[in-house]
Amino acid sequence: LNEKRETEGLPTFANPRNAAAGSLRQLDARVTKARPLAVFLYNAVEAETTLGVSTQAALLTRLAALGLPTNPTNAVVTDQASVEAYLAKYTAVRDDLAYGIDGIVVKVNDLALHAELGNTVKVPRWAIAYKFPPEEAETIVRDIEWTVGRTGVVTPTAIMDPVQLAGTTVSRASLHNPDYLLAKDIRLGDTVTLHKAGDIIPEVGQVILPKRPATATEAYPIPAFCPACGQPLVHTADEVALRCINPFCPAQIQESVTHFASRDAMNIDGLGPKIVAQLLAKNLIHNVADLYKLTFDELTGLEKFGVTSANNLLEALANSKENSVERLLFGLGIRNVGAKAAKVIAAKYGDLTAIATATADDISDLPGLGQTIGQSIEQYFAEAPTQALVREFQELGVNLKFISDGPVATDTVFSGKKVVLTGKLTMFSRKDASDWLERQGAIVSGSVSKKTDLLIAGADAGSKLTKAQELGVEIWSEAQFRDTMKA
């Protein structure tokens, strides 16, 4: 495939993983068809009943007999020593195989045990992956770059001499946080080992001290001020992240404005990332409050933004001013404060000015919250720029008060019950269903546990449904839920 692309003057693929993934993502199926893709099959849905097999090994034999492609290198082993011998064998010959692999999966053979062992939310308990030791290379750290994310986290990135690693050229690797940087004791000019975690993410291994240059006499200094706005950075004792908590930091503005306009926040229809980028590029906004100062003439000056688009966005902005304050609180992007926490806080304090003066201890006492959320709220509103932002919202006519959805029922079939929604709901949105359940006194959760009272399963329900079945949780269909709503 690469030889063909070279003759056509196209860039070549770095490795089989990228080539396969890129081929499958093609919008034009004819392009995918032209690629030399191949597959090994390892599983089948309900294999015991559909194919009449009881073990993983028998399943692979049956699939092969049907003419389906299976990996002939599979083997049944009976003890730990046999597992280790198999791993050693294919670690030695992995580069001679006709396909790329980054590890080997060890599975329980008995399919009945698969059902008994079950799955966590993310992985099966009846299989485990052995990952090969990563390929390493040496390179020299030339610089350390600090970047600011949406929530203000300031992350160091090592800039290094380019090296070939696992099929790609690598010249950058995240150093995650200041504690990681200091623990590794990485200094400018250091020679370091570099590998790809999981054969994907570039990661610095260790400094090769004998090669440290004489000029690298001191540890790399951790910045005290934000590289984007110059405001003092915060490094709290309970976390490793270094943060800029200035809400007007330009590096955070685009992501924060996009979040502010999102559906679960202020729900400003028509204000997506591309429009936000244009507004910032033309200096029409500098913070989220500036959205409410936009004019018709300014909007019609944007690329591909006509009269109708401008009027629609202005209407959406005007409508968002009437939102209940929990949407505004969530939209501000305060770390650790999600949509549910924002609603609990808003319902307790009633308006944003009261929330802004609440103590961390007071907020942490609210049901389902804690000291981490309390401290985030207190710290955020203690900053002078945040206080100015709240005053600006007030002057612009943005609602700062909590608008109740009505009293929470205390005598319904859902009162006090922990309910989980899963799968695709076709009769109403997930949010509408959650809001209705909460008004009925339910506690809506995102995960299934022994404390779950009810699971409502839509189409294509996956691991949550499986776990609920294993735990004996009551399960309703979407139709059953709808009928109860109407009753």
For the segment 299-315, what is each residue's pLDDT rounded down to a tens digit? 999 988 889 999 999 99
pLDDT tens for each residue of 222-247: 999 999 889 999 887 777 888 888 87
Is 477:470 a contact under the CB 8 Å cutoff?
no
pLDDT tens for each residue of 30-50: 989 989 899 999 999 889 999
- Asked whether the predicted pLDDT for residue 16 surpasses 70, the reply is yes
How far apart, in Å, are the Cα atoms of 367 and each of 330, 371, 403, 443?
A: 17, 12, 19, 11
Indicate the pTM of the whole model.
Answer: 0.52
Residue 406 pLDDT level (bands cut at 50, 70, 90): low
Residue 115 pLDDT level (bands cut at 50, 70, 90): confident
Top mean-pLDDT range of 130-134, 338-342, 392-396: 392-396
Cα separation, 284 vs 289, whole angstroms: 11
Please state, rounded to an integer, the average pLDDT across all residues of the chain: 89
What domains, with CATH codes, occur in the chain?
2-34 (no CATH), 47-131 (3.30.1490.70), 136-211 (2.40.50.140), 250-320 (1.10.150.20), 325-395 (1.10.150.20), 418-486 (3.40.50.10190)
Q: What are phi and psi of 186, to 5 degrees?
A: -85, 130
Cα separation, 249 vs 251, whole angstroms: 6
- Asked whether the predicted pLDDT for residue 458 surpasses 90, the reply is no
Maximal C-alpha separation, the chain: 79
Residue 199 pLDDT level (bands cut at 50, 70, 90): low
How far apart, in Å, are the Cα atoms of 132 and each of 79, 127, 165, 196, 262?
A: 20, 16, 14, 11, 41
Is the Cα dihedral 80, 82, 86, 92 positive or negative?
A: positive
Burial class (CB in 10 A: 0-12, 13-18, 19+), 331: buried
How far apart, in Å, are the Cα atoms of 463 and each of 198, 470, 475?
A: 24, 10, 13
